[in-house]
Amino acid sequence: MMNLFRYTSRIAGLVLLGIGGCNDSSGDIGHDGSGTGSASTTEVGGTTSSSTGSENPTSGNADGSATSDLTATSDSTTTGPGTTTTTDPGTTTAATTDPGTTTTDPDTTAGPACGDGNIDPDEECDDGAANADDAACTAACKTAVCGDNLVQSGAEACDDGNAVDTDDCSSACEVAVCGDGLVHAGVEQCDDGDLIGTDECTDTCKPAVCGDAIVWEGVETCDDGNAVDTDACAACKTAACGDGFVQAGVEQCDDGNQIDDDSCTTLCKSGLTLRPNVMLCGSATVNVKDFFPGGVKQFVLIKSCVPDANTQAMLVTRFADQASIVQATLQAYLNAGGVVITEHAISDEVFSKAFVAVAQGPLDGTCVDTAPTVFQQTPGDPFWAANGFTMIKSSNTGCGHSVDLYPGITPLAGWTANTVAIAYRQSGMGRLWLADFDWQDGQMFHPMAYTYKLLGYMITHRN
């Protein structure tokens, strides 16, 4: 069978040569019979020959195959075992494959790839041409998530690839800002998640402190942004007498207490230290020493109507010699910090010498010597803050003349709402106390501790 195949192949080659010669005027076999030309011959077995064409008879081979004596010059290319291809330029190329040999074309079909629009097993997503590092599906076909170090457009403001909440970009991929509830390290000192400027963390993410010019609600009453304690806002509290800070232009002193008989009064005015003597101008049935708040030995009791620099207070009873009270001496004493206390039916005389002339008021009370605190007046005065108010029945009160028409006084108590038995008026650094009731008598039928307390306060308080 193989010999027959080879024979047939050779015959086919000769036929092709003959066809080529017929169509070419300068063909392989010329009109002169020289037979010169070109031919293409394919020979099974891998042998290729070239020759100048000449006619030779065909003869048989020993194996029974036919052999052509026609030869021609040709170029040949061996393509592989059992196959030879010889091509004559401009003519026909024939290829012969050994039976049983299979030829397969290379597979040029592309395999799965990111970006082809198909979600492959190794891909989380694939949006085709829409894949991008700022899209929902990244260029690597991964689903965009916060923390992947890629900023997804429209979904993330930042993405630094970590889950740290204290840097420039939070774990929620949001740019760190004051009020987000996260303390930005090195930038913020606090962050309570709001922009309220009056709480413990201000709207600038700094802790509230006195002096930051922001009033911390519930803690500060003022904050003027400075550390000056002598202005209207001291230690972020509204300046007040007794706060321990001397308010410039308003207070003379401030010792931080509400004690009125020390060097600084409860009105924050410079007080004078207690002087050693108490003077009794006029006679008295009671022992005046019982009025001393510090005990009977607190002061030396002197009977006189001429006070001096050592006189803490002068008590003037209705039995005093009016001529012995010199107006100039009285006024100088009061202005220098002296204290004068009047009694029943003498207040008008003393007030007239200390300030201006006044007339004696109407008589009221039951003359049992007790302080007539039936009606309280000026309840916010330090006098009441220090002593408290005790209401006395009208039937148990001392008697005296109302001083309600005396100019410039501060009324404290009276028999009725329109009468005044106890009052005071300042004079320089001193004070005139008007106690127009019969406190010096010996007819005290009711407990006198309260009355003594009020008189003791008067002795020791100038302003």
pTM, entire model: 0.48
What are the b/e assignments for 213-240, b being 16+ CB within 10 Å?
Answer: ebbbeeebeebeeeeebeeebbebbebe
> What is the sign of the dihedral through the CA atoms of 242, 248, 252 and 255?
positive
Q: How many structural domains does the chain have?
A: 2
C-alpha of 43 from chain center: 97
Q: Does 267 share its domain with 281?
A: no
> Would you say 251 and 268 are in contact if contact means Cβ atoms under 8 Å apart?
yes
Q: What is the pLDDT of residues 372-384, one digit of tens each?
A: 999 999 999 999 9
First-to-last alpha carbon distance for the chain, in angstroms, is 149
Distances (CA, A) of 25 to 31, 37, 40, 89, 296: 9, 11, 18, 16, 167
Does residue 331 share a domain with residue 262? no
Closest CA to 155 of 177, 176, 133: 133
- State yes or no: pLDDT of 443 exceeds 80: no
What is the domain range of residue 265? 218-271
Based on the domain organization, do 248 and 330 belong to the same domain? Answer: no
Confidence band of 257 (pLDDT split at 50, 70, 90): confident
- CATH number, position 297: 3.40.50.880
Whether 316 and 445 share a structural domain:
yes
Q: How high is the mean pLDDT of the chain?
A: 81
Same domain, 243 and 336: no
- Answer yes or no: do 299 and 351 share one domain: yes
Encode pLDDT of 133-183 as tens digits.
999 999 999 999 999 999 999 999 999 999 999 999 999 999 999 999 999
Q: Are the beta carbons of 179 and 187 closer than 8 angstroms?
A: no
Q: Does 386 lie in the same domain as 340?
A: yes
- 282 shares a domain with 263: no
392 in the same domain as 258: no
Based on the fold, state whether residues 349 and 409 are members of the same structural domain.
Answer: yes
Helix or strand or coil: residue 49?
coil
Query: Which tens digits make up the pLDDT trace of 263-315?
Result: 687 888 876 688 999 999 999 999 999 999 989 999 999 999 999 999 999 99
For residue 230, CA distances in Å to 68, 224, 254 come to: 134, 12, 11
Domain boundary at 229, 251, 271, which? 271
- Is residue 128 assigned to a domain? no
Two tokens, residue 3: 């010999």
Select the more confidently predicted residue: 270 or 214: 214
Q: Produce one character per residue of 299-308: b if its CB has 16 or more CB atoms within 10 Å, e if not.
A: beebeebebb
Give the end of a domain, one of 231, 248, 271: 271
Sheet strands side by side (includes 375-376): 300-303, 277-281, 311-316, 339-341, 430-435, 422-427, 410-414, 375-376
The CA distance from 426 to 265, in Å, is: 13
**382 assigned to some structural domain:** yes
Contact 339, 293 (CB under 8 A): no
426 within some domain: yes
Instruction: Tell whether 245 and 335 lie within a shared domain.
Output: no
d(CA 300, CA 37) in angstroms, rounded, equals 166
Give the Cα separation of 335 and 331 in Å (integer): 6
Task: Identify whether 71 is part of a domain.
Answer: no
Q: Is the pLDDT of residue 55 over 60?
A: no
Residue 23: inside a domain: no
Is residue 400 in some structural domain?
A: yes
Give dist(CA 200, CA 306) in Å, integer: 62
Residue 354 lies in a domain: yes
Does residue 232 lie within any of the structural domains? yes
Q: What is the pLDDT of residue 67?
A: 39
Whether 398 and 344 map to the same domain: the answer is yes
**Cβ atoms of residues 73 and 38 within 8 Å:** yes
The gap from C-alpha 303 to its chain's centroid, in whole angstroms, comes to 70
